């Protein structure tokens, strides 16, 4: 069962969000994430908002990554870069179901 941390954000230009999220991806993967994907909502009431999905292989990997990230100054700096240009709308933790 994989786990994902999904954050919805508003604000930030396309170029600024991509640049800031690239830095966040590097740190997230260094700290145990399986990957990071950024998407932009294109239709509906949340059009223009950003979806950042950080994936983990399982709950153990998620927990270890959260612990490591909380003590990593580079992670705090990368997150501050994203925070400086966009605002968190919501955050969810998803657990997949293998079919």
Q: What is the strand order of the sheet 35-40 is part of?
A: 35-40, 50-56, 3-10, 87-95
- Write phi, then psi, for 94 (nearest 5 degrees): -110, 140
> Is the predicted pLDDT of residue 16 greater than 90, yes or no?
yes
CATH of the domain at 79: 3.30.70.100
Report pLDDT for 49. 98
Report pLDDT for 98. 85
Burial annotation 37-56 (CB, 10 A radius, 16+ → b, else e): ebeeeeeeeeeebbbbebbb
Report pLDDT for 74. 97
Structural domain range at position 20? 3-94
> Is the predicted pLDDT of residue 11 greater than 90, yes or no?
yes
Q: With respect to residue 72, please indicate whether it lies within any of the assigned structural domains.
A: yes
21-80 pLDDT, tens digit each: 999 999 999 999 999 999 999 999 999 999 999 999 999 999 999 999 999 999 999 999
Coil, strand, or helix at residue 71?
coil
Q: With respect to residue 99, please indicate whether it lies within any of the assigned structural domains.
A: no
Q: What is the total count of domains within the chain?
A: 1
């Amino acid at each position: 069962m994989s786990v994902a941390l999904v954050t919805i954000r508003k604000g930030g230009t396309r170029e600024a969000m991509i640049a800031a999220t690239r830095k966040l991806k590097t740190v997230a993967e260094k700290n145990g994430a399986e990957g990071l994907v950024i998407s932009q909502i294109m239709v509906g009431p949340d059009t223009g908002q950003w979806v950042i999905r950080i994936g983990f292989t399982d709950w153990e990997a998620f927990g270890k990554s959260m612990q490591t990230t909380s003590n990593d100054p580079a992670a705090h700096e990368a997150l501050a870069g994203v925070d400086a240009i966009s605002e968190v709308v919501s955050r969810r933790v998803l657990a997949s179901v293998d079919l």
